[in-house]
């Protein structure tokens, strides 16, 4: 009983971190484009959309996270705790850096790590999910890029009246709300999917409870990430913001109906980068914040996978030989990276 309560508590803390990261992927665009002036108002609308999305459309992805990657029979209370701890560590570090990180990536990475450790993994399903992680952000970037070019073309031919701007502002707020709704449909499953798969929570209870804590996380911790997506990447108009939010909401809602966990924050950020590239060219890619995000996106699922795999080997199987091998690889990687950095610094100095 105590372990069950502990697992639920860790899951809800993870859900709050999901809200903190997901806030930038929803109302951050409307806030950055000026459709919503107050940051707290944007976060409140984000929270409402998340709860509604989880309650009315989160079931399909919850089922995938609970039994579509590894068999539900593997999901004991201890295993679920390992999954949540691994994913929470990766996500919490990203939130402290103000980087919009995909909760789907870290959660799936943690689940895959457990599956590898127990040799019980639906490999074909995992490969399909990973392929979509690559394809959907690219599609999002391309749609936003061409939409940005279209908006720029229209601006030179249409005179934008005050009424037109006001209408665009309303459309952008609605689009942002739908994006928050899609976050509830897709990302809440990351917090409650393993609990539902193991039978700890029912599907309806898990969706409502998880959605509430994700929404709470958006309200309490979402300020830094919403600033990153709203202002630090690039500036955009109301029309460009509509293209960003509309693209993200449509892609994520479609994936959620199919039960596929997708990287919402990567999709939205890719749309923002697409709009910025259409406006300013590819020099936008030289910004440090974009480079940092790409690195975190690449490392985060592997990081959570290694943590969950190592915890299974240490706490459930007491396999110290495997841990020594993993530690050696980590030390070699860190040492090689440091050596390469030192060599580059020395060359620049010369």
* pLDDT confidence of residue 340: 75
What contacts 291, CB < 8 A, 6 or more positions away?
Answer: 285
Say how far apart CA 45 and CA 170 lie, in whole Å: 13
Q: Which residues of the chain have pLDDT under 50?
A: none
Q: Are 203 and 278 in contact (CB under 8 A)?
A: no
pLDDT digits (tens, 9 = 90+) for 244-283: 889 999 999 999 999 999 988 788 878 888 888 888 787 7
- Helix 162-197 and helix 59-67: axis angle, to 10°? 40
Name which of 45, 121, 32, 57 is nearest 257 in CA terms. Answer: 57
Q: Which own/partner contact pairs does 119-125 have at CB distance under 8 Å and 24+ positions apart?
A: 120/70, 120/71, 120/74, 121/69, 121/70, 122/68, 122/69, 122/70, 122/71, 125/64, 125/68, 125/69
Place of tokens 């002036």: 37
* pLDDT confidence of residue 57: 93
Say how far apart CA 296 and CA 307 lie, in whole Å: 16
Say how far apart CA 275 and CA 141 lie, in whole Å: 8
Place of tokens 């509509």: 242
* pLDDT confidence of residue 94: 65
Name which of 8, 106, 73, 86 is nearest 315 in CA terms. Answer: 86
pLDDT digits (tens, 9 = 90+) for 68-84: 999 999 999 999 999 99
Say how far apart CA 180 and CA 80 lie, in whole Å: 26
Say how far apart CA 75 and CA 52 lie, in whole Å: 28
Place of tokens 């039994």: 67
Terminal CA-CA length for the chain = 64
């Amino acid at each position: 009983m105590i372990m069950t309560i502990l697992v639920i508590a860790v899951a809800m803390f993870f859900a709050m971190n999901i809200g903190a990261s997901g806030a930038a992927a929803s109302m951050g665009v409307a806030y950055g484009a000026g459709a919503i002036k107050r940051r707290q108002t944007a976060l409140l609308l984000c929270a409402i959309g998340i709860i509604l999305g989880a309650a009315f459309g989160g079931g399909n992805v919850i089922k995938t996270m609970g039994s579509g990657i590894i068999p539900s029979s593997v999901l004991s209370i201890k295993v679920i705790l390992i999954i949540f701890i691994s994913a929470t560590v990766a996500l919490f570090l990203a939130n402290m850096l103000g980087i919009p990180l995909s909760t789907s990536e870290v959660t799936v990475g943690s689940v895959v790590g457990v599956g590898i450790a127990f040799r019980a993994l639906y490999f074909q399903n995992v490969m399909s999910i990973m392929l979509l992680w690559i394809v959907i952000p690219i599609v999002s970037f391309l749609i936003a890029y061409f939409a940005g070019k279209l908006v720029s073309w229209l601006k030179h031919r249409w005179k934008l009246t005050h009424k037109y701007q006001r209408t665009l502002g309303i459309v952008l707020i609605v689009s942002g709300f739908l994006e928050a709704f899609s976050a509830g449909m897709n990302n809440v499953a990351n917090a409650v999917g393993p609990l539902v798969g193991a039978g700890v929570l029912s599907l309806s209870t898990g969706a409502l409870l998880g959605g509430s804590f994700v929404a709470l996380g958006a309200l309490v911790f979402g300020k830094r990430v919403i600033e990153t997506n709203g202002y630090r990447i690039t500036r955009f108009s109301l029309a460009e913001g509509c293209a960003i939010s509309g693209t993200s909401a449509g892609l994520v809602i479609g994936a959620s109906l199919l039960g596929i966990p997708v990287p919402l924050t990567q999709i939205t950020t890719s749309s923002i980068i697409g709009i910025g590239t259409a406006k300013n060219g590819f020099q936008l890619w030289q910004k440090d914040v974009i480079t940092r995000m790409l690195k975190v996106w690449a490392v985060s699922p592997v990081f959570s996978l290694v943590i969950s795999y190592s915890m299974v080997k240490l706490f459930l199987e007491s396999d110290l030989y495997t841990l020594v091998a993993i530690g050696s690889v980590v030390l070699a990687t860190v040492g090689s990276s440091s050596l390469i950095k030192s060599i580059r610094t020395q060359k620049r100095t010369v």
